[in-house]
Structure 1
Amino acid sequence: MLRTYLRPHFVERVSARVFRNDIELSLGEGELRTLGAALPDGAFTNLGLLLSDQCTPTVKAALFADDDRNIFTAREECTGSVLKQLSDAYAFLEHDNRYRTEYSGLERIDYHDVPPVALREALVNSIAHREYSLSGPTLISAMPGGVEIVSPGGLPLGIEEADLGAHISIPRNKMLANVLFRLEIIETYGTGIGRMRASYADSEFDPSIRLTPNTLTVFLPNRNAIGMRAAEASDEKARALRDLLEGGPKTRHFIQGSLGISQTTAIRMLGDLTNKGVIEKQGAGKNTMYMLK
């Protein structure tokens, strides 16, 4: 445990307003000792430094115009208390977390690029469970294809990769996790990854976790960008099919081979364009031919 007699600067109360609630936690001398942020002799612990504005680990966030991360459009280094860093990092990402809107009857449904629940849980985990003895910042990259968060430190001792979906929790920084729990930033231990994955239940894509001995990387896919790319790819195939049929009627087998698509995709595409009146079919069975109307 680090002992220091430099007095970090504290506000009297800290809050979790980053997630729009009014939970506050007093940080008087007695409370600091109770939380484990200070010792009876007045020395501050590692937790005390993490909660103060003298916290040295930082979070670096960047917004990119491309998935190869060659073109920066914005960047920010989040400093100060880890609670302030969490607030600033979330605000940075929330600002560009766009959404598309659908309607179910009179109900408006907004589909954010990255589900806010997933964004919250990934950020909180990066603060709560990172290895603060390792130098280097937590790195956040927001790209068209999704958000990547890289935290220093692999899994805590006692947890293996296969355990990540088992709803168990062995926090690396127990006292910091307790502060986050009291602020209701962490609701219950061991459920963050489950909530993150559940927030993608309406998507064919899932968040991913990559591990090395010294890093833990969470990638949160952009649901809307993936959907738009899939639609663009589908439109491109449909245009290629129309171009192919300009030369005359073709069989499904010929269309499959020419476009390099599967039988399932060919059947779906031909059926869709037939129903829309773009093409028509003649014959039956293997001799069925498709042509432009």
Structure 2
Amino acid sequence: MTETNRIEYKRELSDGLEKEVIAFLNYREGGIIYIGIDKNGNTYGLPDADGDQLKIKDRLKNNIRPSALGLFDIVSEESDGKHILKIIVASGPEKPYHLKKYGMSEKGCFIRLGSAAEPMPQKMIDELFAKRTRNSISKIKASRQDLTFSQLKIYYQESGYNLGNSFAKNLELLTEDGLYNYAAYLLADKNNTSIKVAKYLSSNRIDLIESNEYGHECLVKATKQVIDKVAVENRTNTKITAKERQQANLWNPIALREAIINAFVHNDYTNEIVPKFEIFADRIEITSAGGLPEGLSKQEFFEGFSVPRNKELMRIFKDLELVEQLGSGIPRILEHYGKESFVFSDNFLRMTFVANEAAIEEGGVTGGVTGGVTSDAIDAIEALTKRQKEVLKLIAANSSVTYNEVAEALGINESAVGKHITAIKNKGFLIRQGGTQGYWEINLDKNLK
């Protein structure tokens, strides 16, 4: 492979890295930088990839303005048996980005032209600055300033982080004058954000049979609650024939989880409109506020080019491993559903996933693991770790789920999935029936007595 308008190679970590990242931040499609590969595409590798990864994160955090946190992702990979680093850079919403020490000048601003990062003309700098998005959740002052963040701190602790006293500043939850912004309000223990999951009897909105309300709390918690609720609704129907055990979910669980998280992270909250989740007899509709981000075409959207609408939320969801990496969500949905599942308007994006006909025809759970096993029941198991509970919930949603599907859904590798499943089995909560062609059976009753 050769360098392109979206791909840059660097043999080693050098002083010019920030320049290349800024060029991609200012480019409408973003881009990818590989460290450990030369200009001709030859792999040299990095002797200390882990150390370089920490240096890169620190440099991009401190040397680029406006803040690029939440707009880049650093992934460790192997090429020809050698360690390299892949830096995924999204197109930034607050152009022009620049080197902190040179400010918004031709010496500090860069743009991607062809396969090179070139100085940005002053006229372009002035035009971009005039268009800079000011009405974002980071710049809107929260209506309340007596906010607390116990839930958010717990989620960070569970993910191995310890939020210090400066967490609000570090997570960009403050306005320029030091007050809590709207991102902080969404992530606080208490707010007025209400998320609804509605369920209808038929294929229209006439007969509402269930309306669940989540929210008024940390947006991360609300997201997890919606994921759990929809997972319960995504029943696994089982039909046992003389030859095999056939199972079908209403919707693909991996695509469904990605769609829910995408709706929360990329929703336009500036008008206090929240995502909406509606379950019909023949489909599920997930609607988020805000059309395509400015400058992003439908083709670029489907190809996974990332223009995070709410970089503060993106950064936190990535920290908490709800998001795997920038730009990965939409391509993973498209592995299971076509582009026709997406409908764009000026103010909204709706994803519609048609229910699996096999699951509808069975008319309910007739066997298998899901009968009676709820997310709340799994959460109540003190003997399991947080990650083991997440694995068990995916198995509860689909008793024939593969190691690879669990790994993709949780953003971890298959060997880690194997270790978690072994631990769950050893604790007596999981039994394998029928060998490699069989299914999982969950046993909670005797363990919860």
- Per the alignment, residue 264 of structure 1 pairs with none
Q: 1:223 to 1:195 in 2, by over 3 A?
A: same
User: Superposed, which structure 2 residues align to 1:181-196 within 5 Å?
Assistant: 181-196=318-333
Question: Which amino acid is the alignment partner of residue 218 of structure 1?
Answer: M
Shift of 1:206: 6.9
Match of 1:2 among 126, 130, 140: 140
Verify the 8 A CA contact 1:13 1:24 in the aligned structure 2.
Answer: no
Indicate whether 1:78 and 2:218 are aligned.
no
Deviations 1:212-271 (A, max 9, x none): 100110111111358739xxxxxxxxxxxxxxxxxxxxxxxxxxxxxxxxxxxxxxxxxx
- Per the alignment, residue 4 of structure 2 pairs with none
Identity %: 24
Question: Which amino acid is the alignment partner of residue 93 of structure 1?
Answer: V
Q: 1:104 to 1:192 in 2, by over 3 A?
A: farther
Verify the 8 A CA contact 1:138 1:151 in the aligned structure 2.
Answer: yes
Q: Distance in 1 between matches of 2:161 and 2:186?
A: 15
Match of 1:13 among 131, 153, 177: 153
Indicate whether 1:220 and 2:353 are aligned.
yes
User: Superposed, which structure 2 residues align to 1:87-166 within 5 Å?
Assistant: 87-101=224-238, 110-166=247-303
Q: 1:37 to 1:110 in 2, by over 3 A?
A: farther
Q: 1:135 to 1:46 in 2, by over 3 A?
A: closer
Verify the 8 A CA contact 1:144 1:225 in the aligned structure 2.
Answer: no
Indicate whether 1:49 and 2:185 are aligned.
yes
Q: Distance in 2 between matches of 1:225 and 1:16?
A: 40
Q: Distance in 1 between matches of 2:328 and 2:201?
A: 33
Instruction: Report the structure number with the largest CA radius of gyration.
Output: 1
Question: Which amino acid is the alignment partner of residue 7 of structure 1?
Answer: D
Q: 1:178 to 1:107 in 2, by over 3 A?
A: farther
Verify the 8 A CA contact 2:250 2:359 in the aligned structure 1.
Answer: no
Question: Which amino acid is the alignment partner of residue 296 of structure 2?
Answer: I
Q: 1:43 to 1:121 in 2, by over 3 A?
A: same
Shift of 1:191: 1.4
Shift of 1:126: 0.6
Deviations 1:30-76 (A, max 9, x none): 12211101368752122211111343333211011101121122111
- Per the alignment, residue 317 of structure 2 pairs with 180
Specify every segment of 5 or more residues in structure 1 that has no aligned partner in the other structure, as ranges.
230-293
Verify the 8 A CA contact 2:278 2:284 in the aligned structure 1.
Answer: yes
Verify the 8 A CA contact 2:318 2:324 in the aligned structure 1.
Answer: yes
Shift of 1:195: 0.8
Q: Distance in 1 between matches of 2:156 and 2:223?
A: 10
Helix, strand or coil for the counterpart of 2:279? strand
Helix, strand or coil for the counterpart of 1:13? helix
Verify the 8 A CA contact 1:169 1:189 in the aligned structure 2.
Answer: yes
Helix, strand or coil for the counterpart of 2:204? coil
Deviations 1:142-181 (A, max 9, x none): 1111110111111111212222221210000011101111
Shift of 1:2: 2.2
Shift of 1:110: 3.9
Verify the 8 A CA contact 1:145 1:225 in the aligned structure 2.
Answer: no
Q: How many residues align?
A: 221
Verify the 8 A CA contact 1:102 1:110 in the aligned structure 2.
Answer: yes
Verify the 8 A CA contact 1:134 1:153 in the aligned structure 2.
Answer: no
Deviations 1:265-289 (A, max 9, x none): xxxxxxxxxxxxxxxxxxxxxxxxx
Q: Distance in 2 between matches of 1:117 and 1:107?
A: 24
- Per the alignment, residue 169 of structure 1 pairs with 306
Question: Which amino acid is the alignment partner of residue 303 of structure 2?
Answer: A
Farther off after superposition, 167-176 or 43-52: 43-52
Q: Distance in 1 between matches of 2:241 and 2:339?
A: 24
Q: Distance in 2 between matches of 1:207 and 1:61?
A: 23
In the superposition, the TM-score normalised over structure 2's length comes to 0.45
In the superposition, the TM-score normalised over structure 1's length comes to 0.67
Q: Distance in 1 between matches of 2:345 and 2:305?
A: 20
Helix, strand or coil for the counterpart of 1:32? helix
RMSD, matched Cα: 3.0
Verify the 8 A CA contact 1:99 1:110 in the aligned structure 2.
Answer: yes
Q: 1:206 to 1:161 in 2, by over 3 A?
A: closer
